[in-house]
Chains A and B, each alone.
Chain A
Amino acid sequence: MYPSKFDYHRPSSVQEAVQILSDNPDAKVLAGGHSLIPVMKLRLAAPAALVDIGRIDALQGISRSNGSLRIGACVTYNEIANSADVQAAAPLLAEAAGQIGDRQVRYRGTIGGNLSHADPASDLPAAALALGATLHVTGTGGSRSVSASDFFVDLMMTALQPDEILTEVEIPATAAGTGSAYVKFEHPASGYALCGAAALVSRGDGGSCTGASLCFNGVSSTAVSASGVASGLVGSDLSDDAIVSAVSGLSIPDATGDMFASAGYRQELAKSIGIQALLTARDRA
């Protein structure tokens, strides 16, 4: 497991980082390294240079203001899972981050790396999608914002341009009366999500559903939102039957199959994991 030769840069600002990226078309951003280093060791990737963004202060930290939560791109899963702010304002994200890999992975892997890598089986994309996250990115041409629903383009492809860095993830705080849950069915080998379901359920005063969201990791080439299920639930009494029947027609377009699980089975799994996530979210609403 020996990677090819590469140069190493450790910029101290985002500006410096994007400049290096734009000057070195074969360079790659290095965050927690828990996806990038393994593929380099397997020689599936051989970037000419790494731009280590781990020491850029602007990419660290979690803050909460005006009903939204802002998380720096280099914040680790462990920080997210254990942050009182995240637990209060976006418990779904804390729950998903706490289920990633093992302790070592959670101490190294970052939210920015997870979302930028856009591995369909990773755990944070569905949560970001369900929470309606906004991703702030910066390139040599300046900064812009991309909604999570526009960010994930295809298998390991995002809306990021080669010289852009994801700097911050902004998440609207989950309102009172809204419950959430992330339920994961682990791939026995990788521990990634064979299917992961992120659910949000809001209840009105009368107990009926005023809003819902159900998004999946692991089932198709990107995280997907099952908007049909969500709209079917709104107005319902959120009984077990209502949830089961809202999910019964779920069909995720272009579900993927591989040697471990067929596309058809992944669809079935999405249904039963989806139901579990919605039931739990309802109970927490």
Chain B
Amino acid sequence: MAGESNGAGVFGSSIRRREDPELITGRAKYTDDLQLPNTAHCTILRSDYAHAKINSIDASEAEALDGVIAVYTASDIAESGVPGGIPVGWLLPDMVIPEHFMLAKDTTRYVGDGVAIVVAEDQYTAHDALDLIYVDYDPRDGVADPKKATEEGAPLVHDEAQNNIAFDWEIGDKESADTAFANAAHVASLDIVNNRLIPNAMEPRAALADYNNITGELTLYMTTQNPHIHRLLMSLASLGLPEHKIRVIAPEVGGGFGSKIHHYADEAIAAWASMQLGRPVKWTATRTETYLTDAHGRDHVTHAEMAIDANGKFTGLRVDTYAAMGAYLSTFAPAVPTYLYGTLMSGEYDLPAIHCHVYGVFTHTVPVDAYRGAGRPEATFVVERLVDEAARVTGLDPAEIRRRNFVAPDNFPFQTQVALAYDSGNYEGALDKALEAIGYDDFRKEQAALREQGRYVGIGLSTYIEACGLAPSAVVGSLGAQAGQWESAVVRVHATGKVTVYSGCSGHGQGHETTYAQIVASALGVPYEDIDVIEGDSGVMPHGWGTYGSRSAATGGSAIASAAEKVVDKARTIAAHLLEAAEEDLEFEDGNFFVKGSPDQAQSLPDVALQAYLAHNLPKGIEPALEATSFYDPENFVFPFGTHIAVVEVCANTGQVDLQRYLAVDDVGNVINPMIVDGQVHGGIAQGVGQSLYETAVYDEGANLLSGTMLDYAVPKAHFLPSFETDRTVTPCPHNPLGVKGVGEAGTIASPAAVVNAVVDALSPFGVNHIDMPVTSEKVWNAMN
């Protein structure tokens, strides 16, 4: 694939992902592939009970098993003197923050809560020993439903959280919303359950910890989306090692979708065990452990209503949500159903009054945290379902009611009633393009004809907006984040003109090595092939905040662009000196500096780089070498938007939903690599279709996870999905150097509403106005009969 492209034209081209040959051929190394001499293997005994007191633990048989090195419990961790905590990194006012220790001390709070650790010479022995640890449990009642958990008499997850409420949060203005409802001509109202999802990254979480008890240094290879955050939290909260003595490395990481952002006990346990034993310790989750411990997503119970005037204009929105937190507050959990949810309630609409109230609720379940889209899919589902319901109660067409309420293109920047200021947009542009491509008007005619024949097709719109590119640090700080959200980059031009780029983001499938190199090739005018990108090693690059929240292009890419600009500035100074010209007189084109009008007398960037390294003849005051570091803090979020349309047919005999067409018109700003953007959109849609038609984590009344394997939990397969149709409009982000927004989550944010709106449209002859996700064939059959 050499020579695919050079220099400036690379930005915006569909270069093939340079990551893929290694990934496809199996050459890439994931954490579990890594082998260190003398490695011991660690397994974790997990609670079989959603809620139980631990009376005693007898590990003597396990300890006696040949090959077992040690068995540890919470008291061993406590006695070792480390802090042992698993902290929450986002604080809301008056939030109840219960202790979360690396292992359950005396109470287990979900099926999967860690109870004991085995370290053995090999994995088989480590797993065998788990069966030989006898825990005397005193089982208690558990509760899994976030709304029922707040009712009087519900079993408490933590004694200090009354009615299991972790926080009680609101945004917007209740009074003005209530007034809107008092004066409304129509009210649309829905009860919505946003189903709980289990992330299914292809690679399970894993850690290989190597503590050197001579130097006191810990090297931790792990499945992480953000090595620096993990280093910070390992240091401060879990292990107590000084930050500079910890090096967190993300080898190849096989997907995350958010599940590898969070700081879990398991990786800290592997590190702690290595510290106890002075030898490498490896832990790799089984798929069952993935289901039992990776933070789940969504899990909301919501009542929402829209006030509408006689002209079909929205006048007010009220939303009440019970959002599950699970058994403990995971790393960024409190932000997800609050600042990533309530702030999106204005959708693409000029909504004059909004009030959103959220209870964050403890339940005896796996903790809930950010999962692809994080809060924004839940918000979009509420808004876009309500908009369709508003169309129904007013008798307006769903496309027409949207048009009447969009923020107009000349109304930007637009300040919503829920904190965000949208910087740019053209919502009707995307809607028109999508309606045209799908043949909306013809579809309505065909739909009527098919109904006559007893066939039920439906079309669903989702005109979504999202806020991503996390985020202006001061803003998130004022909202409770215990982290910054700027990003770092180093652009290092070597003496030969080859370039190495370091980013504080940490890709895990997104294709950063390709897209970042495209950015730099364009900025420096050097061949794409001459640029390498390195991420994911806290020992190598400056502090960064990682990859999530569709931030890597908008923040990481911007940091790279700004570092590249500094490199060009310095190179220009040197080139001017070498050409004996004034800097202002120099042009920079395709990697060459030359005096205006004399392109044949040029100094190329590699020429300049060599001189910068030799430093025999540098202008006064200019330091040797050619590299620059940037720490880029964005001015605002970025706001991708678009229109997604789903077309379904429901089978009158079985209730099965057949997704026939899916069309997405997204506006993600300037596009670095169209093929990669399409790939992100495709994957996101597939995941959102998964949520809407197939996936759901099922807990029974006693809070036992029933859908604990892939036999029961339906991740969509390729043959469930149509060939997606994608298109774009381009409204560049006005406030970052590349004009890019974000695309990683758009598909999961937009698609659930499009699909469910289509199903509800198909079922409208049966008087159906809402159906909860996942829309299984049985639910549809019941709705039709």
List residues of chain A with CB under 8 Å of any chain B CB: 1-2, 4-5, 42-43, 185, 187-192, 259-262, 265, 268-269, 272-273, 275-276
The answer for the CA separation of A190 and B698 in the assembled complex, in Å, is 16
Chain B residues contacting A273 (CB-CB under 8 Å) are: 654
B726 interface contact, C-beta 8 A: no
- Whether B712 contacts A189 by the Cβ 8 Å rule is yes
The answer for the CA separation of A216 and B473 in the assembled complex, in Å, is 60
A-B interface, 8 closest residue pairs, ranked by CB to CB distance from nearest: A189-B714, A272-B653, A188-B714, A2-B127, A265-B778, A190-B711, A259-B698, A188-B694
Chain A residues contacting B776 (CB-CB under 8 Å) are: 188, 260-261
Q: Which of B757-785 contact A (CB under 8 A)?
A: 776-778, 781-782, 785
The answer for the CA separation of A4 and B286 in the assembled complex, in Å, is 15
- Whether B123 contacts A2 by the Cβ 8 Å rule is yes
Give the residue among A4, A185, A260 with the most B Cβ atoms within 10 A: A260
Q: Which residue of A lies closest to B656 (CB)?
A: A185
Candidates A5, A190, A262; contact of B128 at CB < 8 Å: A5
- Whether A189 contacts B694 by the Cβ 8 Å rule is yes
Q: Which residue of A lies closest to B288 (CB)?
A: A42
Contact (A43, B712) CB under 8 Å given A5-B124, A265-B778, A272-B654? no
Q: Which of B166-205 contact A (CB under 8 A)?
A: none
Q: Which of B585-634 contact A (CB under 8 A)?
A: none
- Whether A265 contacts B712 by the Cβ 8 Å rule is no
- Whether A260 contacts B654 by the Cβ 8 Å rule is no
**Shortest beta-carbon distance from B526 to chain A in Å:** 45
The answer for the CA separation of A102 and B286 in the assembled complex, in Å, is 23
**Shortest beta-carbon distance from A273 to chain B in Å:** 7
Q: Which residue of A lies closest to B711 (CB)?
A: A190
Give the residue among A259, A275, A276 with the most B Cβ atoms within 10 A: A259
- Whether A1 contacts B287 by the Cβ 8 Å rule is yes
B713 interface contact, C-beta 8 A: yes
Query: Which size bracket describes the interface of B in this complex?
Result: 20 to 34
B131 interface contact, C-beta 8 A: yes
Q: Which of B285-323 contact A (CB under 8 A)?
A: 286-288
The answer for the CA separation of A185 and B706 in the assembled complex, in Å, is 22
**Shortest beta-carbon distance from B76 to chain A in Å:** 24
B754 interface contact, C-beta 8 A: no
**Shortest beta-carbon distance from A174 to chain B in Å:** 27
Chain B residues contacting A272 (CB-CB under 8 Å) are: 653-654
The answer for the CA separation of A262 and B781 in the assembled complex, in Å, is 12
B707 interface contact, C-beta 8 A: yes
The answer for the CA separation of A39 and B298 in the assembled complex, in Å, is 30
Candidates B653, B711, B782; contact of A189 at CB < 8 Å: B711
Q: Which residue of A lies closest to B710 (CB)?
A: A189
- Whether B124 contacts A43 by the Cβ 8 Å rule is no
B720 interface contact, C-beta 8 A: yes
B715 interface contact, C-beta 8 A: yes
Known A-B contacts: A260-B712, A261-B777. Give 17 more (CB < 8 A). A1-B286, A2-B124, A2-B127, A5-B124, A43-B127, A188-B714, A189-B707, A189-B714, A189-B715, A191-B717, A260-B778, A261-B778, A265-B781, A268-B785, A269-B777, A272-B653, A275-B653
Chain B residues contacting A265 (CB-CB under 8 Å) are: 777-778, 781-782
Chain A residues contacting B717 (CB-CB under 8 Å) are: 191
25 contacts between A and B (CB under 8 A): A2-B124, A2-B286, A5-B124, A185-B654, A185-B656, A185-B777, A188-B714, A188-B776, A189-B711, A189-B713, A189-B715, A190-B711, A191-B717, A259-B698, A259-B712, A260-B712, A261-B776, A261-B777, A261-B778, A262-B778, A265-B777, A265-B781, A265-B782, A268-B781, A269-B654
- Whether B124 contacts A259 by the Cβ 8 Å rule is no
Does more than half of chain A's interface fall in helix, strand or loop, or is it mixed?
Answer: loop
- Whether A188 contacts B720 by the Cβ 8 Å rule is yes
Q: Which of B701-723 contact A (CB under 8 A)?
A: 706-707, 709-717, 720
**Shortest beta-carbon distance from B40 to chain A in Å:** 15
Chain B residues contacting A189 (CB-CB under 8 Å) are: 694, 707, 710-715
The answer for the CA separation of A188 and B693 in the assembled complex, in Å, is 9
Q: Which residue of A lies closest to B708 (CB)?
A: A42
Candidates B131, B777, B785; contact of A43 at CB < 8 Å: B131
Give the residue among B288, B706, B714 with the most A Cβ atoms within 10 A: B714
Q: Which residue of B lies closest to A1 (CB)?
A: B286
Chain B residues contacting A260 (CB-CB under 8 Å) are: 712, 776, 778
Q: Which residue of B lies closest to A266 (CB)?
A: B778
The answer for the CA separation of A38 and B363 in the assembled complex, in Å, is 31
The answer for the CA separation of A273 and B782 in the assembled complex, in Å, is 17
The answer for the CA separation of A15 and B712 in the assembled complex, in Å, is 39
**Shortest beta-carbon distance from A46 to chain B in Å:** 9
Give the residue among A2, A43, A275 with the most B Cβ atoms within 10 A: A2
Chain A residues contacting B782 (CB-CB under 8 Å) are: 265
The answer for the CA separation of A275 and B288 in the assembled complex, in Å, is 39
Chain A residues contacting B288 (CB-CB under 8 Å) are: 1, 42
Q: Flag B57-70 by CB within 8 Å of A: 1 or 0 each.
A: 00000000000000
The answer for the CA separation of A269 and B785 in the assembled complex, in Å, is 13
Chain B residues contacting A269 (CB-CB under 8 Å) are: 654, 777
**Shortest beta-carbon distance from B688 to chain A in Å:** 15
The answer for the CA separation of A275 and B128 in the assembled complex, in Å, is 50
The answer for the CA separation of A260 and B288 in the assembled complex, in Å, is 19
**Shortest beta-carbon distance from A112 to chain B in Å:** 22
**Shortest beta-carbon distance from B692 to chain A in Å:** 12
**Shortest beta-carbon distance from A44 to chain B in Å:** 10
Q: Which residue of B lies closest to A269 (CB)?
A: B654
Give the residue among A188, A261, A272 with the most B Cβ atoms within 10 A: A188
The answer for the CA separation of A277 and B706 in the assembled complex, in Å, is 32
Chain B residues contacting A185 (CB-CB under 8 Å) are: 654, 656, 777
Q: Which residue of B lies closest to A275 (CB)?
A: B653
Chain A residues contacting B124 (CB-CB under 8 Å) are: 2, 5
Chain B residues contacting A43 (CB-CB under 8 Å) are: 127, 131
**Shortest beta-carbon distance from A100 to chain B in Å:** 15
The answer for the CA separation of A1 and B32 in the assembled complex, in Å, is 14
Q: Which residue of A lies closest to B698 (CB)?
A: A259
Chain B residues contacting A2 (CB-CB under 8 Å) are: 123-124, 127, 286
**Shortest beta-carbon distance from A179 to chain B in Å:** 21
**Shortest beta-carbon distance from B198 to chain A in Å:** 11
The answer for the CA separation of A268 and B287 in the assembled complex, in Å, is 34
Q: Which residue of A lies closest to B289 (CB)?
A: A1
Chain A residues contacting B286 (CB-CB under 8 Å) are: 1-2
Chain B residues contacting A261 (CB-CB under 8 Å) are: 776-778
The answer for the CA separation of A1 and B285 in the assembled complex, in Å, is 9
Chain B residues contacting A5 (CB-CB under 8 Å) are: 124, 128
**Shortest beta-carbon distance from B127 to chain A in Å:** 4
**Shortest beta-carbon distance from B197 to chain A in Å:** 13
Q: Which residue of B lies closest to A194 (CB)?
A: B777
Q: Which residue of B lies closest to A261 (CB)?
A: B778
The answer for the CA separation of A188 and B778 in the assembled complex, in Å, is 12
**Shortest beta-carbon distance from B232 to chain A in Å:** 32
Contact (A190, B781) CB under 8 Å given A2-B127, A259-B706? no
The answer for the CA separation of A43 and B45 in the assembled complex, in Å, is 14
The answer for the CA separation of A5 and B65 in the assembled complex, in Å, is 13
Q: Which residue of B lies closest to A102 (CB)?
A: B717
Chain A residues contacting B128 (CB-CB under 8 Å) are: 4-5
Chain B residues contacting A276 (CB-CB under 8 Å) are: 653
- Whether B712 contacts A190 by the Cβ 8 Å rule is yes
